Amino acid sequence: MESPSARPRRRRRIVVLTTLGVVVVLLLLCGAVLGGGWYYSGQLLEPANSRPGYPDTSAGGTGGADQPSVLLEQSEDTVLPGTWGLLWDGGAARVGPVDGRPDGKVRRPLIDGTAPPAGTKVRMATSVWDTDPKAALGLDFTDVKVKTELGDAPAWFVPGTSSTWVVAVHGRAGSRAEALRVLPQLHQRGLPTLVVTYRNDTEEGAPASPDGLYHLGGTEWRDVEAAVEHAKAQGAANVLLYGWSMGGAIIGQLLAQSPTAASVTGVVLDAPVTSWTKTLELQAANRDVPVAIVPVAELVSDWRADIGFERFDLVEHPPATKPKTLVFHGNADGTVPVQGSRDLATAAARLQWPLQYVEVPGADHTAAWNTDAAAYQRNLDDFLNGVIGTS
């Protein structure tokens, strides 16, 4: 039999072992959460992790020489409505709307280019073209260098006759090619357009940031500020800022922090990030990552790059300068929540922000133009008439 004096010792051992077990479990859980937060932070901040791959697959060409088409393995992207670029390693084409789904595949007409061979890994691209304004659209342009605090950042300059210049700002992991969809319309209106790069666009020749990380608009706005100053030095009386996705967050920070905001006469935002927190929550849900990891990822990102996520919420922290603004957003956006743009539109009157909101049914991220180019162009024209007139 166990002696009476041994029982308390046994109970103490049980308590100690149980406590140690709980501590170990808690430490493991904390380590997993912190590890997950670090990983998610890396996906968000490290440029190398943001470069798109080729997630879809070609099933080869079909149709005759007079009506060539490409077959694609069916996926969420290959069935998206409208006009798209089709990219693969070493090649590109333009494809039109889906015109059939034979045998579980997707058939899309080729607008230009040839179909990649069956089995080729491909990507659907909202930017449609992957070249420059001359090669893609026949528009004359000049390669210029914008002097930023980190060094020269390349830009395309498409000349025009207006005293209002456009500065076009692509999104995270995007490129200047995003602006090619709207360049013909801006050119037709006589608007000189500067299509810019910013820090960490190293593949396009822009300088890296000192830490090599995206700051989600928190420092990139200074490179766009330099582009605005370049435009003013070249004779621009006013500037219209045009941004896609993270380009919207960058523009928001410029309007909040830069003295050059006084010369901004209008803003166009396409699927803009109006809250990084809500954007991260959506992306976590899409990846089956617990939404509870988002605050941890924000803390890690704050520590790594001094982000300050709350300042990017345009409803709670609107910029001091609020020019006339046009916002496009697709209601099928799986990358940046459309609700953020809806909330901004709802709050616009209270914020004394002259803002027009256009929601595009069925459009995925930055695909409002792709889904219905004619409607997009009409809304953009109406907005430009209100900002720069009809001349």
> 274-311 pLDDT, tens per residue?
999 999 888 877 776 777 778 887 888 788 888 888 99
Torsion angle, CA of 308/48/134/93, rounded to 10 degrees?
A: -120
> Residue 22: pLDDT band by 50, 70, 90 thresholds?
very low
**pLDDT at residue 21 is higher than 50:** no
Residue 189 has pLDDT above 80, yes or no: yes
Query: Between these two residues, 301 and 101, which has the higher pLDDT value?
Result: 101
Contact 209, 215 (CB under 8 A): yes
Q: Output the pLDDT for position 193.
A: 98
- Please tell me the predicted confidence (pLDDT) of residue 29: 40
Rounded to an integer, what distance in angstroms lies between the CA atom of residue 89 and that of residue 130? 12
For 344-353, the CB contacts below 8 A with 24+ separation are 344/274, 344/314, 344/315, 347/315, 347/318, 351/315, 351/318, 351/322, 352/322, 353/318, 353/322, 353/325
Closest-CA residue to 312 (of 200, 174, 220, 217): 217
Question: At a CB cut-off of 8 Å and minimum separation 6, what does 261 contact?
Answer: 254, 255, 319, 320, 321
- Looking at the chain, the whole-number percentage of residues with pLDDT higher than 90 is 75
Q: Is the pLDDT of residue 372 over 80?
A: yes
What pLDDT shows up at residue 33? 47
pLDDT of res. 31: 45
CB within 8 A of 35, min separation 6: which ones?
none
The pLDDT, as a whole number, for residue 32 is 44
214 φ, ψ (degrees, to nearest 5): -65, 145
Q: Which whole number is the average pLDDT over 250-274?
A: 97
**The model's pTM:** 0.90
pLDDT tens digit string along 200-255? 999 999 999 999 999 999 999 999 999 999 999 999 999 999 999 999 999 999 99
Model confidence at 185: pLDDT above 70: yes
Q: Mean pLDDT score of the chain, rounded to an integer? A: 90
Place 10 in a pLDDT band, splitting at 50, 70 and 90.
low
Look at residue 28 in the predicted model and tell me its pLDDT.
38
Helix H or strand E encompassing 334:
none
Q: Is 334 buried (19+), middle (13-18) or exposed (0-12) by CB count in 10 A? A: middle
Instruction: Label residue 9 exposed, middle or buried (CB < 10 Å: 0-12, 13-18, 19+).
Output: exposed
- Rounded average pLDDT over 334-355: 97
Q: Which CATH code of 3.40.50.1820, 3.30.2320.80, 3.40.50.300, 3.50.50.60 fits the domain covering 133-275+313-388?
A: 3.40.50.1820
Q: pLDDT band at 20, cuts 50/70/90? A: very low
139 versus 66: the higher-pLDDT residue is 139
Please check the confidence at residue 17 and state whether its pLDDT lies above 60.
no
**Token pair for residue 157?**
């300059």
Res 1 pLDDT > 80: no
3 state SS of 353: coil
Q: CA 272, 371, 203 angle in degrees (round to 5)?
A: 55
Domain boundaries, the chain: 1-45+276-307, 56-125, 133-275+313-388
- For 7-16, 150-159, 305-314, which range has the lowest pLDDT when averaged over its residues? 7-16
- Residue 27 above 60 pLDDT? no
pLDDT band, very low/low/confident/very high, at 82 (cuts 50, 70, 90):
very high
How deeply is 275 buried, as exposed, middle or buried, from its count of CB atoms within 10 A (0-12, 13-18, 19+)? buried
- In this predicted structure, which of 47-61, 111-125, 374-388 has the lowest mean pLDDT? 47-61
Q: How confident is the model at residue 13 (pLDDT cuts 50, 70, 90)?
A: low
One-letter amino acid at 253 equals Q
Instruction: Please give the structure tokens belonging to residue 374.
Output: 């004619």
